[in-house]
Amino acid sequence: MAAAACAPLDPSKDPKYRDIKWSIYRGKAYDITDFIDRHPGGTWLINLAVGRDCTALFESYHLRCETAAAVFNKLPVLEGFPVDAVPRAPYPNDSDVYTAIRHRVRKEVFEGGEHVGAHRRGSELAAAAVLSCAVAAYALYMRSAGWFTGMLLGIAGAWIGVTIQHCGNHGAMSNNPLINNLLGLCNDLIGGSSLMWRYHHQVSHHIHTNDDVLDEDVLSMYPILRFDSRLPRYWFHAYQHLYIWVAYPLMHLAFQWGDINSLFSSRTVGAELLGATTAEKSTVVVGKLLHYFLLLVIPWLVYGPAVALTGAVTYSISLSIVLALMFFVSHNVPENKPLAPGMSGADDATRAVLLNQLDSRDWGVQQILASANWGGVVGNFFTGGLNLQIEHHLFPAISFVHYPAIARIVADECAQRGIRYTQYSSLPAILSRFLLCMRQLGVAPYEPAALLINKIK
Ligand code: HEM
């Protein structure tokens, strides 16, 4: 009773703060309302900071963190704000390894060119290649719609999904926020939602990678798929490495339900849409209409329902499989999981970091231990840097063309500090580890976080 009486009032329920766009940075609440339209990274990204502790987003997105942080000195501080009532994110700049890597990246890769935006340049060729390929695939689809062209269109759509929409929504494709937003909107064209992606992917997954409560990627397919042994186990999980191949092709369909549901509930599984404007929300509706108009309605009018449906179904399946493969292998190999001791690849260090309380968690080490790389520069070009997932998680707002150079620094720092850096030679190599991990997670005993913490002590 006494504890409840002392608990700070939730600011989202306090009328005093209803008309203020506030955000918390390092324990202080600021009124960022007037700065939003002046934000050099664009309004869509800073909107992610509204109504929450933005420290982790802020410190992982600004390469010149000190320049961006200087703005807080000019913003109104909200004295007496119940900061403790707002969930805290870990602070990236408190991580020794992260700040050391960032220092070296600025010095050795960009040599001070960050002030002219060198870190966000270089993806123009990749963007042109991806867009040309998508236009050609759609032209072919419209010329002769059917299962084969539908499949090709799905692969082209997936290439958009992993490269230009993904990097655009991270603000990493250009120094111009408008270009990033337009490329980000390609997510809606291929059947997803750029708005939901920003909240789900950036606010939930990037900040809390492989957390069993806060990372939406761990939770959203549960109970069908069990991505963490801290989630209760059912008998059918023992077969998840097999039926995953039936679940994955349904991903595009699942997006449709998830996006519309999130629009009505104003939240994704892992994040509330606290700062999303009406214009941003309207992209969900317009995007869905446009997607189905291009994929289904036009081919239906030209070729009839049977052909149009065949094309749309094969599009949906091939897009889903490619996207699922690219996204899921990156955080789901045994090295990334707090698996039971004795299971192949289980790692005490990963277990210890992921089980730490948020405010004492080393964000940099978490990103490194919970992610896995495969391949090199060729994979980097075709996946928009997703194959160098460790570097992507440390620097989501840097253009992916710089990841191979950054990877050398990250690997070196990890070797010096004894931090496990997981790198596989190729996609098939990481894929086999991913399947092993799914098998292990399917049979691993259910161990709630509290139980695991005791085991480490
Ligand atoms: C909440 C308060 C925020 C403030 C005061 C702020 C301030 C700034 C400033 C001053 C810059 C220019 C930096 C430079 O010239 O080096 C900038 C750029 C940028 N911001 Fe923010 N920002 C905020 C939140 C965010 C958030 C939440 C995100 C991402 C989710 C973000 C993403 C970016 C990006 C991508 C750029 C351009 C790239 C870069 O500077 O490296 N910002 N911001």
The domain spans of the chain are: 2-89, 119-225+232-328, 334-456
User: 374 φ, ψ to 5°?
Assistant: -150, 155
In the numeric block, the tokens 């809390």 are attached to 208
Is any atom of ligand 1 closer than 6 Å to the C-beta of 248? no
CA 412 to chain centre: 25
Distance 35 CA to ligand 1 centre (A): 11
Number of neighbouring beta carbons within 10 Å of residue 274: 19
Closest C-alpha among 58, 166, 120, 128 to residue 389: 166
Q: Which two tokens stand for residue 119?
A: 């870190």
pLDDT tens for each residue of the chain, 457 residues long: 334 445 566 787 788 888 899 999 999 999 999 999 999 999 999 999 999 999 999 999 999 999 999 999 999 999 999 999 998 888 999 999 999 999 999 999 999 899 899 999 999 999 999 999 999 999 999 999 999 999 999 999 999 999 999 999 999 999 999 999 999 999 999 999 999 999 999 999 999 999 888 899 998 899 999 999 989 999 999 999 999 999 989 999 999 999 999 999 999 999 999 999 999 999 999 999 999 999 999 999 999 999 999 999 999 999 999 999 999 999 999 999 887 777 777 677 777 777 777 777 899 999 999 999 999 999 999 999 999 999 999 999 999 999 999 999 999 999 999 999 999 999 999 999 999 999 999 999 998 765 544 443 3
Complex ipTM: 0.94
Q: Are 149 and 175 in contact (CB under 8 A)?
A: no
Residue 68 CA: distances (Å) to CA of 31, 116, 298? 15, 14, 46
User: How many residues are recorded in the chain?
Assistant: 457
d(CA 259, CA 423): 33
Is any atom of ligand 1 closer than 6 Å to the C-beta of 275? no
User: What pLDDT, on the 0 to 100 scale, is given for residue 7?
Assistant: 56
Distance 6 CA to ligand 1 centre (A): 35
Residue 300 CA: distances (Å) to CA of 136, 140, 312? 20, 15, 10
For residue 71, the one-letter residue type is V
- The pairing of strands 22-25 and 28-31 is antiparallel
Is any atom of ligand 1 closer than 6 Å to the C-beta of 167? no
In the numeric block, the tokens 């050795």 are attached to 108
d(CA 130, CA 68): 32
Nearest alpha carbon, ligand 1 atom 42: 46
Is any atom of ligand 1 closer than 6 Å to the C-beta of 398? no
Nearest alpha carbon, ligand 1 atom 37: 41
What does the H/E/C string look like for the chain?
CHHHHHCCCCHHHCHHHCCCCEEEECCEEEECCCCHHHCCCCHHHHHHHCCCECHHHHHHHCCCHHHHHHHHHHCCECCCCCHHHCCCCCCHHHCHHHHHHHHHHHHHHCCCHHHHCHHHCCCHHHHHHHHHHHHHHHHHHHHCCCHHHHHHHHHHHHHHHHCHHHHHHCCCCCCCHHHHHHHHHHHHHCCCCHHHHHHHHHHHHHCCCCCCCCCHHHHCCCCCCCCCCCCCCCHHHHHHHHHHHHHHHHHHHHHHHHHHHHHHHCECCCCECCCCCHHHHHHHHHHHHHHHHHHHHHHHHHHCHHHHHHHHHHHHHHHHHHHHHHHHCCCCCHHHCCCCCCCCCCCHHHHHHHHCCHHHCCHHHHHHHCCCEECCHHHHHHHCCCCCHHHHHHCCCCCHHHHHHHHHHHHHHHHHHCCCCCEECCHHHHHHHHHHHHHHHHHCCCCCHHHHHHHHC
Is any atom of ligand 1 closer than 6 Å to the C-beta of 68? yes
User: What pLDDT, on the 0 to 100 scale, is given for residue 349?
Assistant: 76
Is any atom of ligand 1 closer than 6 Å to the C-beta of 58? yes
Assess if CATH 1.10.3720.10 describes domain 2-89: no
Residue 417 CA: distances (Å) to CA of 98, 136, 363, 420? 12, 48, 15, 9
Q: Are 391 and 410 in contact (CB under 8 A)?
A: yes
Of 25, 46, 400, the one to substitute when testing ligand 1's pocket (max ligand atoms within 8 A of C-beta) is 46
d(CA 258, CA 194): 13
Nearest alpha carbon, ligand 1 atom 20: 41
Provide the b/e sequence for 331-359 (b: ≥16 CB within 10 Å). bbbbbbbbbbeebebbbeebbbbbbbebe
Q: Looking at ligand 1, which atom is closest to the CA of residue 63?
A: 41
How large is the C-alpha radius of gyration of the chain?
A: 22
Is any atom of ligand 1 closer than 6 Å to the C-beta of 438? no
Question: Which residues fall within 8 angstroms of residue 425, CB to CB, at 6 or more apart?
Answer: 374, 375
Nearest alpha carbon, ligand 1 atom 9: 68
Residue 247, Cβ density class (10 Å: 0-12 exposed, 13-18 middle, ≥19 buried): middle
Distance 450 CA to ligand 1 centre (A): 37
For residue 171, the one-letter residue type is G
Question: Which residues fall within 8 angstroms of residue 143, CB to CB, at 6 or more apart?
Answer: 149
